[in-house]
Amino acid sequence: MSWEAVAAIASATGVIASLLYLATQVRQNNRASAVAAKLASTRLLSEFVDALIEDPELMKLWLKGRADLETLDEVERARFANMCLKAFWFFSAAQYQRRIGTLQEDE
């Protein structure tokens, strides 16, 4: 076997090892991104629900608005609309993350 053949085999082995290492790093990065997306999604929902739990008046407004918008006065309607907007942002972010593949369908 010539030195040229040994060098070619060593070079090919190096390339294969580099590709395997790169594939492992990409897989780990994808997992980390999925975990971060799930945590962010959970945090957004948790913050929304925490606000309802911590403020009984806010919870009453949420329930009242969901039951019948017509019973809300102008200020209540504005607050309820903002609450709905915040909830929409959560679902929009979760849908985007699902669409790009960082959240699974069942999450």
Confidence of residue 107 (pLDDT cuts 50, 70, 90): low
**Contact of 49 with 43, CB cutoff 8 Å:** no
- Over residues 7-60, the pLDDT tens digits come to 888 888 988 989 999 999 998 988 888 788 778 878 888 888 898 899 999 999
**Number of domains composing the chain:** 1
| Residue 87 is assigned to a structural domain of this protein | yes
CB atoms within 10 A of CB 103: 19
For residue 106, is it within any domain?
Answer: no
Q: Is residue 107 part of a domain?
A: no
Domain residues for the domain of 93 are: 3-100
What pLDDT, on a 0 to 100 scale, did the predictor assign at position 1? Answer: 67
Question: What are 82-98's pLDDT values in tens digits?
Answer: 999 988 888 888 888 88
Residue-by-residue DSSP string for 57-95: HHHHHHHHHHH-GGG--HHHHHHHHHHHHHHHHHHHHHH
Residue 105 lies in a domain: no
| pTM (two decimals) | 0.59
